[in-house]
Structure 1
Amino acid sequence: MRFLPWFTEEFRSSLLPFELLQQLQSNVILPQAVGLGVLNSYRNFKGTVAVNSFTIQLLASVAKTPKLVLAGSVRNVANGGSFLRLRYRLTWDSLFFLLFWEGVTGIIIVLDLRNSFHTGYTADMVVPVVFFIFGFGFMLLLFWLEVHTARQLLVKLLKLEPAH
């Protein structure tokens, strides 16, 4: 498991790039249509699909937490099929919350350490450290659960195999 909330991986598919993107488009709803009550029970993603790339997120009905953005780029492979590079990252609001949480707890830890030189160590100084570790660990856990869910859906939908 990696310890940063972004990740890139590469896949091969037997589908040609335009077929791969068409297949993905059939499973993506535009972000503007998500709140309009459009019935899309068979769709798992929201976002946009362009000529050789896409940016999507899991729909809230599929995702355990809507914290993940998937950006992909597709290109031809010489012997047929396509090559897909997928980049996973946290949404900007999730990343901001993580940085805010870690920043506040980090400042408290530094202030506690500074005060411990004058007053000595106390057991309550462990609490901000636990909050720091818990905040980062919890966000990473949610991130990797979403990566796993999105990967499973895309591998099945787009007939993907790891590129080695």
Structure 2
Amino acid sequence: ESVEQKIAAVSLRYFNVAGALKCDRGWLAERHDPETHLIPNVLRSTHSNPVKIFGTDWPTADGTCIRDYVHVIDLIDAHIKALNSLVEGVHEIYNLGSGGGYSVRQVVAAASKATGEDIPTTDSPRRSGDPSVLIADINKAQTKLGWTPTREINDMVADTLASFSKA
């Protein structure tokens, strides 16, 4: 029996990770420089630096792109379930997202709700290569791991906003 036949492996394909978790050592949260992710950029937008909406003519309900987001706490749960599911000689691959999606305008609305303020936006042309909709098929993770994400976009945005305080 070869080594390859004995290795247990799992690959987890994250979609847009969002949210944050307050722990003893601080916040488990995203920090990029430059920041490229929608939720932090929406929360940091100002009237002098509004968030750009790339395309308002997509074939979606509100004309903006739809993306799948998953909360970092839901990912922690998925990791634990994936580790507990390892089987010798088997390599499994799972998509991790919400299994649904949120449009750019829905993310902006969630940020407005979290901050209590209107979020400044500016309409921009589509970016080359962007698909109109990108949503994870999480059926395999739900079926084989017993994993289902529990946090919605409002939770992700509110937790990201709270992580900015660094308290």
TM above 0.5, yes or no, is no
Indicate the structure whose relative CO is greater, using CA pairs within 8 Å and at least 6 residues apart.
Answer: 2
Larger Rg: 1
Q: Normalized against structure 1, the TM-score is what?
A: 0.28
TM-score, length basis structure 2 = 0.28
Q: Choose between structure 1 and 2: higher helix proportion.
A: 1
